[in-house]
Amino acid sequence: MQACATVNQNRHHARFFTSHGRGIDDDARVKRRLLRLFIIVLALGLGMGAWGFFIEPSHLETVEVTLTPRTWPRAQSGLKVAVVSDLHIGAPFIDAKAITRMRDTIDAWKPDLVLIAGDLLVGHEPGATFVPPDDAAAMLKGWSAPLGVWAVLGNHDWWVDGEGTTRALEANGIRVLENQAVPLDARNGRVWLAGLADVWTRKTDAAKALAQVTDEAPVIAFTHNPDVFPEMPARFDVFFAGHTHGGQVRFPLVGALVVPSKYKQRYARGVVVEDGRTMFVTSGVGTSVMPVRFRVPPEVALVTLTAP
């Protein structure tokens, strides 16, 4: 009986050590898997950071868009408008060479009209080099299009020096509009261009601009901030804006976490059609606040207006 008990006891200990050994192996496998997962997550994070801070902000994309505003006349179908915004000259990757590349891209498309929708300047954000208005505007000297190169100012321009930015742009051949409308002699008749003041820093006055429109020709309107769109009159056949940068960072399924608009994702970027009115919001060229872009590359928008 004693020998039998001893054998049974030894078998019990053998089962215990075998079970305990499997526990050690399982723990080791779990630790190895967790380590691999950590390395993968770390590599993805570093890769996304490198892409967002160093690669994507330096790659300018061309976005070709065809808009069919409800009221656009057949006589002006095919009018080509290049729209750029938020150059933020002096932001990381936005130097004289980048501006030349942007201009060459637009010139190759041969637009009828070029619109700069505000924020020529950059402030003192991380990684930025402040460029005075005269130097920034000089990078655009000699730019031309059949119907002209026109600009409105954005909040950054006014925060730095709005009047100085206006003088600098106009000294380099770019007319600045603020609640004004001007007639343009397009190939098949007159088109009006209305430039509206930035809503954050000035008073946007669409009625003042429309009071200068003297006939029934189509009206192209542009401003810096898209938040004024719901109050815009239907007399504007098409509306352009910038300011939002598309959020600068957009995650799959979630979208942009931060959009500088009281309407958030609604006016973040792209084509917006509301109550029969059409707006296009460009994601812009430079960066602001943080020098990062992720899934929102810098862009120039080449827009063709067609009749419905």
Q: Which residue has the higher pLDDT, 154 or 12?
A: 154
CA dist 125 and 230 (Å) reads 31
What percentage of the chain carries pLDDT values higher than 70?
84
- How is the beta sheet containing 175-176 ordered, strand by strand? 61-67, 299-305, 79-84, 113-117, 149-152, 175-176
What's the predicted TM-score (pTM) here? 0.85
pLDDT for 243: 97
DSSP states along 94-160: -SHHHHHHHHHHHHHH--SEEEEES--B--S-TT-----HHHHHHTTTT---TT-EEEE--HHHHHH
- The per-residue pLDDT for range 6-63, each reduced to its tens digit, is 444 444 444 433 444 556 677 777 666 666 656 666 555 556 555 456 677 788 999 9
Tell me how far apart the alpha carbons of residues 206 and 213 are, in angstroms, rounded to a whole number. Answer: 11
Selected residue with higher pLDDT from 30 and 152? 152
- Choices 3.40.190.10, 3.40.80.10, 3.60.21.10, 3.40.50.10860: CATH for 61-305: 3.60.21.10
Domain boundaries, the chain: 1-58, 61-305
Provide the 8-state DSSP code for 51.
I
Q: What is the pLDDT of residues 101-146, one digit of tens each?
A: 999 999 999 999 999 999 999 987 888 999 999 999 999 999 999 9
Instruction: Of 141, 79, 88, give the one whose Cα is nearest residue 109.
Output: 79
Q: In this structure, what are the phi and psi dihedrals at residue 184, rounded to the nearest 5 degrees?
A: -125, 135
Residue type, 239: F
